[in-house]
Amino acid sequence: MIVGVATEISYALGIILAGFFVSLILSFKI
Amino acid sequence: MIPRPDIEDVKAIGYYLGKIILSLSATMVVPLLLGILLGEFSPAMDFMVGIEASLILGLFLTKICFTENDLNWMQGMIVVSLSWVVAMVLAAIPLYLSGHWLSFMDACFDTMSGLTTTGLALVQDMDHLSYSHNLWRHLIMFIGGQGIVIVAVSLFVKGFSGALKMYVGEARDEKILPNVIHGSRFIWLVSVVFLVLGTIALGVTGIVNGLKPFNAFFHGACIFMTAFDTGGFAPQSQSVLYYHSLAYEMITVIIIVLGALNFKLHYHVWNGNFKEMVKNIESRTFFVSILITFSITAVGLHQTGIYPQALVLFRKGFYQLISGHAGTGFQTIYAQQFLSDWNNLALAGMICAMALGGAACSTTGAIKMIRVGIIYKALRQDIKRIILPERVVIVQKFHHIRERFLNDKMVRAALMITLAYLALYAAGAIIGMLCGFSFLESLFESTSAAANVGLSCGITQAGMPAALKVTYMMQMWAGRLEFMSVLTLAGFIVAAVRGK
């Protein structure tokens, strides 16, 4: 169960990270 | 010829409806006890009245309609459909008595918004609402998110052999475990584990940010309940903006994403099938869909130049986007800023995200990821059919817990519901325009209501036309139950009037 919770939290963090990269790329005015 | 419903139909519907009402009255004890503990005796009396009204109606129905017959599919669907309407009225009683709602209809609007995990609110002076009333607002969202039937099944296990039919009626067509009662209990297990973890995380962050310990944990529990059930009510009128904390926003985003996942996926990941997280069609579609809709919104926001720094654009844009996509409705900007600060492209990205929603068998509303994934796979299959030679047999597969072959029946079902949602969004937008609002703001608010999101661009307020209030209430109800139960109720009424 604990590993399951950690896996799900990692997935959520992955989404957050991917969103941040999109913002970062845009800020470079590419 | 439509057969007219007989007395046995009415008795079975009344009996099971009565049981669900009794379980609703049991949940009102929680804010009642909190009110007594905190010395809020006047609010506690409001809940006493609510409990009494529910008990009288529930006991009356279970006595007068007593039957030992099981529910059939039609009856199950109607019980679900009616139980949401009856629960809306009964749950609104203590809210209306508080004096924070201008009319009983406004209180009903908020309870329907709560039960359907939408998050649109008409409450007045929310920042001075009593703790018990505030807890009730969040609790009804938790009850609605878990599913009123799930709550009833968990409380009244005996004699609930018709549970499956109601379970399906409540748009939880995927059985997590072969037994509905075990399925309901697993949903509670996941929710309680995350409730404890989420409340501690939010409570500690609240204390670090300067909230008093009681308030920090009270807000933590309330915010968790509405974040995990992708609802969107918050204890303060400024929503999550009130906390001005990046940590608080990050934690709520994680809770929102967890709440938007399929309970069946939770079950398999918790039982050691970790690869399912990456392989599942819903988690993949959700990931891609968030990135695409966020990119659209982010380019729109970039054009306006309102958030020049990457972190600020991410913090404001991504938060509203994920909150809208998962159907939550927490805001870290003021409602009017959607129209004053964001441009059309950014709003279009938001509307697309809200319209798509989270995973099936979760607490989110809207079209849902499994349907989007299936429609995408069907499109791929059709393109392959055109490109490849005619003699080639094209088999399209997708992974949802196990490998499945795509068939026309699945595609038809996915397209039917998708079309029904699009029609619902459009109908609400047209009524919004009839009431004098612009196309974009009408579509935004209508999508937000029908997809059970709760983000508002400013239309939803106590002074809005009554016709629009009723429209949004109907949209929230039909959107949450995914049409079938509501259409079955309409068919039942037609049969009762015109049947032979």
Please write the tens of the pLDDT for every residue from B291-342: 999 999 999 999 998 888 888 999 999 999 999 999 998 999 998 999 999 9
Report chain B's mean pLDDT, rounded to a whole number.
Answer: 88
Please give the average per-residue pLDDT across B362-389, as a whole number: 91
What residue ranges do the domains of chain B occupy?
1-173
Helices B148-155 and B180-208, axial angle in degrees (round to 10) = 110
**pLDDT of res. B231:** 87
Which CA distances in Å does B469 have to B136, B293, B305, B455, B475? 21, 28, 35, 15, 10
- What are the tens digits of pLDDT across the range B214-230? 999 999 999 999 999 88
What residues of B are in the A interface, CB distance below 8 Å?
A: 193-194, 197, 250, 253-254, 257-258, 261, 266, 269-272, 274, 277, 283, 286-287, 290-291, 294-295, 298-299, 302, 308-311, 313-314, 317-318, 321-322
Instruction: Answer whether B281's CB lies under 8 Å from B399's CB.
Output: yes
User: Nearest-CA neighbor of B354 among B420, B450, B285?
Assistant: B450
3-state secondary structure of B279: helix
Task: Pick B91 or B189 by higher pLDDT.
Answer: B91
Q: What is the DSSP string of B28-95?
A: THHHHHHHHHTT-HHHHHHHHHHHHHHHHHHHHHHHHT---PPP-HHHHHHHHHHHHHHHHHHHHHHH
B95 CB burial (10 A radius; 0-12, 13-18, 19+): buried
> How far away is chain B from the Cα of A2, in angstroms, using its nearest Cα?
8
DSSP character at residue B175: -
CB atoms B287 and A26 under 8 Å: no
A8, A14, A19 ranked by CB distance to B294: nearest: A19
**Sign of torsion, CA B269 B275 B278 B282?**
negative
A5, A11, A26 ranked by CB distance to B302: nearest: A26
Please give the average per-residue pLDDT across B133-137, as a whole number: 93
Measured CA to CA, the distance from residue B263 to residue B186 in angstroms comes to 8
- Chain B CB contacts of A24 below 8 Å: 310, 314
Measured CA to CA, the distance from residue B134 to residue B125 in angstroms comes to 12
DSSP character at residue B393: P
Measured CA to CA, the distance from residue B35 to residue B399 in angstroms comes to 48
B197, B272, B287 ranked by CB distance to A15: nearest: B287
State which H helix or E strand residue B405 sits in.
Answer: strand B402-405
> How far away is chain A from the Cα of B228, in angstroms, using its nearest Cα?
13
State which H helix or E strand residue B354 sits in.
Answer: helix B344-356
Residues constituting chain B: 500
Which one of A2, A3, A8, A17 makes the best mutation probe of the B interface by having the most chain B beta carbons within 10 Å?
A: A8
Which CA distances in Å does B223 have to B230, B237, B258, B376? 10, 13, 14, 34
**pLDDT of res. B157:** 43
Percent of chain B exceeding pLDDT 90 equals 59
- What are the tens digits of pLDDT across the range B410-465? 999 999 999 999 999 999 999 999 999 999 999 999 999 999 999 999 899 999 99
**pLDDT of res. B48:** 95
CB atoms B197 and A5 under 8 Å: yes
B194, B274, B314 ranked by CB distance to A20: nearest: B314
The residue to which tokens 């986007």 are assigned: B321
Q: Determine the residue type at B177.
A: L
User: Nearest-CA neighbor of B328 among B357, B349, B352?
Assistant: B357
**Minimal-distance CA residue of chain B relative to A11:** B277
Interface ipTM > 0.90: yes
Q: CB atoms < 10 A from the CB of B273, how many?
A: 16
Which one of B194, B265, B268, B277 makes the best mutation probe of the A interface by having the most chain A beta carbons within 10 Å?
A: B277
- Chain B CB contacts of A8 below 8 Å: 258, 261, 266, 269, 277
Q: Which two tokens stand for residue B115?
A: 């039960």
Which one of A3, A15, A17 makes the best mutation probe of the B interface by having the most chain B beta carbons within 10 Å?
A: A15
Instruction: Answer whether B20's CB lies under 8 Å from B75's CB.
Output: no
User: Nearest-CA neighbor of B82 among B164, B158, B143, B21?
Assistant: B21
Which one of B191, B197, B254 makes the best mutation probe of the A interface by having the most chain A beta carbons within 10 Å?
A: B254
Q: CB atoms < 10 A from the CB of A6, how many?
A: 12
B254, B270, B298 ranked by CB distance to A22: nearest: B298
CB atoms B258 and A12 under 8 Å: yes
Provide the number of CB pairs (under 8 Å) joining chain A to chain B: 79
